[in-house]
Chain A
Amino acid sequence: MMINSRYKVNVAVVLFIVWMLVQAVRSAVGGEPYPAIKYPGFPGNGKAALTSRELYKVAGKERTLITHYESVYGHARYRKLLQDITVAVDNNDENARLKMLSGLRDIKGLQRGDTVEIVERTWQATKSGYAENAINRRQIVL
Chain B
Amino acid sequence: MNWIVSAWNKWLFDEYKFLGAEAVGAFRVFYCLAMFLVGFNSYSSISRYAPELYNPKRSLAIWFDLPSPIFFQLLDYFILLCLILLLFGFRAKWTSLILGLALIIGNSFLYSFDKISHGNLLTTFIPLVMAFSNWGARFSIERSDKQEVEYWPVSLMSFIIGFGMFTAGVFKVVGGWLNPSYQAIKFHVFKSFLNLREGLFTGVVVEMGTPVLWEVMDYVIVIFEIGFLLVVFNRKWFQGWIVAAIFFHIGVLLVLDISFSKNVVVYFLFLNWAFILGTMRYSQFLSFLTKGFNYPTMVVFILAIFAIKYFFGSPYLMSHLPFDKAGNSSILFGLALLVIFGSWFQIFYERRTPKNVSL
Interface string of B109-144 (1 = CB under 8 A from A): 001011110000000000000001010000000000
Per the bound structure, the CA–CA distance linking A130 and B182 in Å amounts to: 13
Residues of chain A with a CB closer than 8 A to B50's CB: 73, 81, 102-106
Per the bound structure, the CA–CA distance linking A10 and B191 in Å amounts to: 45
Residues of chain B with a CB closer than 8 A to A74's CB: 113-115
> Which of B48, B132, B191, B196 touches A50 (beta carbons < 8 Å)?
B191
Q: A2-B132, A3-B132, A72-B115 are in contact. Are A33 and B171 (CB under 8 A)?
A: no
The B-contacting residues of A in range 50-102, CB under 8 angstroms, are: 50-51, 53, 64, 66-67, 70-74, 76-77, 81, 99, 102
CB of B49 within 8 A of chain A?
yes
When the two chains form their complex, are residues B48 and A42 in contact, meaning their CB atoms are under 8 A apart? no
Residues of chain A with a CB closer than 8 A to B55's CB: 77
Chain A interface size range:
35 or more
CB of A138 within 8 A of chain B?
no
Chain A contact residues: helix, strand, loop or mixed: mixed
The A-contacting residues of B in range 15-69, CB under 8 angstroms, are: 48-53, 55, 57-58
When the two chains form their complex, are residues A64 and B53 in contact, meaning their CB atoms are under 8 A apart? no
Chain B contact residues: helix, strand, loop or mixed: helix
Q: A2-B134, A53-B195, A130-B190 are in contact. Are A43 and B182 (CB under 8 A)?
A: yes
CB of A135 within 8 A of chain B?
no
> Which of B49, B181, B194 touches A106 (beta carbons < 8 Å)?
B49
Per the bound structure, the CA–CA distance linking A53 and B195 in Å amounts to: 6
The smallest beta-carbon distance between A96 and chain B, in angstroms, is 11
CB of A44 within 8 A of chain B?
yes
CB of B175 within 8 A of chain A?
yes
The smallest beta-carbon distance between A57 and chain B, in angstroms, is 15
When the two chains form their complex, are residues B9 and A42 in contact, meaning their CB atoms are under 8 A apart? no
Q: Which residue of A lies closest to B59 (CB)?
A: A33
When the two chains form their complex, are residues B53 and A103 in contact, meaning their CB atoms are under 8 A apart? yes
The A-contacting residues of B in range 172-188, CB under 8 angstroms, are: 172, 174-176, 179, 181-182, 184, 187
CB of A20 within 8 A of chain B?
yes
When the two chains form their complex, are residues B187 and A53 in contact, meaning their CB atoms are under 8 A apart? no
Per the bound structure, the CA–CA distance linking A99 and B113 in Å amounts to: 17
> Which of A2, A44, A50 touches B181 (beta carbons < 8 Å)?
A44
The smallest beta-carbon distance between B183 and chain A, in angstroms, is 9
Per the bound structure, the CA–CA distance linking A74 and B156 in Å amounts to: 31
Chain B contacts to A: CB under 8 angstroms: 8-9, 12-13, 48-53, 55, 57-58, 93, 111, 113-116, 132, 134, 152, 156, 159-160, 163, 167, 170-172, 174-176, 179, 181-182, 184, 187, 190-191, 194-197
